[in-house]
Amino acid sequence: MILTVLIMTGCKNKSDQNKPSAKSETFKISEETIKETARQLKEKYGETYEFRIDRGVQQVASLWSESDGKEEDFVNFCLENFEPDSAKLLTIFSKLERNFEVIFGLNNKMTLKLNEPLHLNMGEITFVDLAMGAYSPMAHFNEDMFANKIAFYVALNFPAYSLTEKEKFADSWTRIEWAYARMGDMFISRVPSELNQNYSEVATQSDAYIADYNIYMGNIVDDKFNTYFPKDMVLITHWGLRDELKANYNTENGLQKQKFIYDIMLRIIRQEIPVEVINKSEYKWNPSKNLVFDAQNKEVKFTAEPYTRYEYLLKNFKALSAMDKYNPVYPTYILRAYDQSMEITREEVEKIFIDFITAPEIAEVAKLIKKRLNRDLQPFDIWYDGFKLRSEINQDELTAITRRKYPDAQAFAKDIPRILLDLGWTRDKANYIAAKIAVDPARGAGHAWGAQMKGDQAHLRTRIGDKGMDYKGYNIAIHELGHNVEQTITLYDVDYYMLSGVPNTAFTEAIAFLFQGNDIKLLGRSNATEKQKVDALNALDNCWSAYEIMGVALVDMYVWQWMYENPDANPKELKEAVEKIAIDVWNKYYYPIFGVKDSPILAIYSHMITSPLYLANYPIGHLIEFQIAEYIKDKKFADEVTRMLVQGRITPQAWMKNAVGDKINGNATLAAVRDALKIIKD
């Protein structure tokens, strides 16, 4: 979990750099001036450049603000700086690319160094470490690039393409055309700083609201005032509640406890939950009947939460949609979340998800779960947790091996070339990659921090106890090594810096999981039957959790569409809409499997409040992972991984078509599920 957060943070840092600087709300270059400027340029250089001129001038105009100069300054800037000559344009591109590598690379290195006292075992963490770790040297990068007019120069000469256009040109673009398109993505919006500030306040408030949304489980009672949970158990919505629900398969009173948690979740979604029991421990609560009692079991009056949950969702909507008019290429938050961030259209994501959750294999997996539980399914069984490995592998035995092999971080570092060799890289290439990865003993569970300029190393952070690396730590380290190998190949071996990296975080996770899946084999302890069973359980577990999150992500998607259609809704109306949408999705895709109607459970995720429209990334990542795994299973791992990675950061669908010959879909996951169902029968 920590590592996902870190990678997400790593990514967030990157987008912070792209946070546009101040633009005044009122100033606008007139349509006439834009047309006239374009006309003059076409007259000067000819109609051949029509597309580049029209788009470039339009783009600069959309970013120009009063502080950048008057209309005539805008005209002169365009006339003087448009570059028609293709050889000169390539030189400009190379210069820009080199400078961005210097800036991003050194910033990354500085941030990594400033954070070392927080991440590595460097003694007690002090005020200085915390303040310096949080310091962001790049905070004003965008502002600076607008001030020195580099942003306008890029916008004028490198057209910004929408995702639809990129997809349309994907098959015909050369590598340099892709690299130019990525350059064109650099400066496409300039949101007034007060709007960014406002959103960051809303985000902080939303986080705080969820962070303080705890339920005192020791106070949960049934009709006879029996308690079921440990007295001191406090669970946060929804993660804590969900994890406790998951932990209660096959425990004493497990089903009863799960029903309590489910009832609590419904009260939260419907905002019937008493404010007296949110983050407060004074009262007993019977969530099934929604009654509150004092210490003497005397019923007390309560106030239901006044739609606060939906008030925060609305605040997010208002803060983010206020930025729409400053994002000419992606003028809604829905477009920015899907087309711009994921680079998969909302329509495509929706289709991928619906195809998956309506597949006949889902009903087969549900049948197996029902058999294993020996009862009818309940809506909360979307969190069925019985496909985890646990007893399938003997962890103690493996820990004995990893401790002997890896007494310290250095021992693991020394073994990286051998690991890569075993995965199929040549000795030269294995040494080449390994030389670019540093292994550091870390405080946390482990993470991977990539370099952002050639000449710099990626860092593998791993936690090693006094007795050496245990199996769990090793398993994580192999995952992180996967990230580091990806980071290294996509920085050093991709032809243009603007194309370095992978399309989005789902891809880096997919590669990391592929490495992780080889961990036992890399210890020289390959057991074919064991591996087959582990893979089968993994496929079933993945399928069921994808089925769950896809439903939640669809609800998130439809709720945002509803907010855009009803921008003036109040929190109560939004609550009713969310409940209706969640129930509609349930009745359409989950009721047929569960046999229980009208559950709004898919609306419980806290991500809806704290990370709007982020959820879809998780299941997409797993589908990609299975597609790649399925494709390379009878091929050479190292060769295929390298071939896929050197494509760099083109769009996800274009990347996948070249990588596995197909767009992103659930077919590979479902194929793995069919195989798994032949192995796991009860």
Dist CA 599 CA 148 (whole Å): 55
Residues paired with 449 in a beta bridge: 459
Per CB under 5 A, 313 contacts Zn ion: no
Which DSSP category does 212 fall into? Answer: T
Cβ atoms of residues 212 and 126 within 8 Å: no
Please say which residue, 97 or 509, places its beta carbon nearer to Zn ion. 509
The residue at minimum Cβ distance from Zn ion is 512
Dist CA 288 CA 300 (whole Å): 16
**Least Å distance between CB 508 and Zn ion?**
7
**Least Å distance between CB 1 and Zn ion?**
10
- Measure the CA angle with vertex 111, ends 18 and 650; round to 5°: 45
Cβ atoms of residues 285 and 292 within 8 Å: yes
Please say which residue, 244 or 509, places its beta carbon nearer to Zn ion. 509
**Least Å distance between CB 483 and Zn ion?**
6
**Least Å distance between CB 449 and Zn ion?**
12
Number of residues that bind Zn ion (CB under 5 A): 2
Tell me how far the alpha carbon of residue 139 is from its chain's centroid: 22
458-462 and 446-449: which strand pairing? Answer: antiparallel
Residues paired with 221 in a beta bridge: 227
Residue 613 Ramachandran class (φ > 0 left, ψ -120 to 50 alpha, else beta) = left
**Least Å distance between CB 155 and Zn ion?**
34
Taking each helix axis from N to C terminus, what angle separates 617-632 and 667-679, rounded to the nearest 10 degrees? 70
In the numeric block, the tokens 């899907």 are attached to 338
Please say which residue, 217 or 506, places its beta carbon nearer to Zn ion. 506
Residues paired with 447 in a beta bridge: 461
Please say which residue, 512 or 677, places its beta carbon nearer to Zn ion. 512
**Least Å distance between CB 629 and Zn ion?**
15
Among positions 497-536, residues that touch Zn ion (CB under 5 A) are 509, 512
Burial class (CB in 10 A: 0-12, 13-18, 19+), 376: exposed
Token pair belonging to 322:
């206020």
Main-chain dihedrals φ then ψ at residue 615, nearest 5 degrees: -55, -35
**Least Å distance between CB 190 and Zn ion?**
33
Mask for 329-358, x = binds Zn ion (CB under 5 A): ------------------------------
Give the containing element (helix H, strand E) for 166: helix 163-169
**Least Å distance between CB 27 and Zn ion?**
44
Dist CA 289 CA 45 (whole Å): 76
Token pair belonging to 667:
């077919």
Which DSSP category does 340 fall into? Answer: I
Please say which residue, 219 or 538, places its beta carbon nearer to Zn ion. 538
Q: What order of strands is seen across the sheet that includes strand 437-441?
A: 437-441, 458-462, 446-449
Q: How many residues in total does the chain contain?
A: 682
Please say which residue, 55 or 447, places its beta carbon nearer to Zn ion. 447
**Least Å distance between CB 312 and Zn ion?**
29
Which DSSP category does 497 fall into? Answer: G
Please say which residue, 286 or 488, places its beta carbon nearer to Zn ion. 488
**Least Å distance between CB 443 and Zn ion?**
18
**Least Å distance between CB 329 and Zn ion?**
30
Mask for 571-590, x = binds Zn ion (CB under 5 A): --------------------
Please say which residue, 339 or 509, places its beta carbon nearer to Zn ion. 509
**Least Å distance between CB 127 and Zn ion?**
31
Cβ atoms of residues 619 and 485 within 8 Å: no
Residue 286: strand, helix, or coil: strand
Please say which residue, 512 or 615, places its beta carbon nearer to Zn ion. 512
**Least Å distance between CB 482 and Zn ion?**
8
Please say which residue, 512 or 656, places its beta carbon nearer to Zn ion. 512
Measured torsion, CA atoms of residues 167, 172, 176, 181, in degrees rounded to the nearest 10: -30
Mask for 461-500, x = binds Zn ion (CB under 5 A): ----------------------------------------
Please say which residue, 512 or 628, places its beta carbon nearer to Zn ion. 512
- Measure the CA angle with vertex 257, ends 254 and 263; round to 5°: 140
Buried b or exposed e, range 630-650, using 16+ CB within 10 angstroms:
bbbeeeebbebbbebbebbbb
Dist CA 417 CA 9 (whole Å): 29
Please say which residue, 206 or 462, places its beta carbon nearer to Zn ion. 462
Please say which residue, 327 or 505, places its beta carbon nearer to Zn ion. 505
Please say which residue, 365 or 512, places its beta carbon nearer to Zn ion. 512
**Least Å distance between CB 516 and Zn ion?**
8
Burial class (CB in 10 A: 0-12, 13-18, 19+), 379: buried
Q: What are the residues binding Zn ion (CB under 5 A)?
A: 509, 512
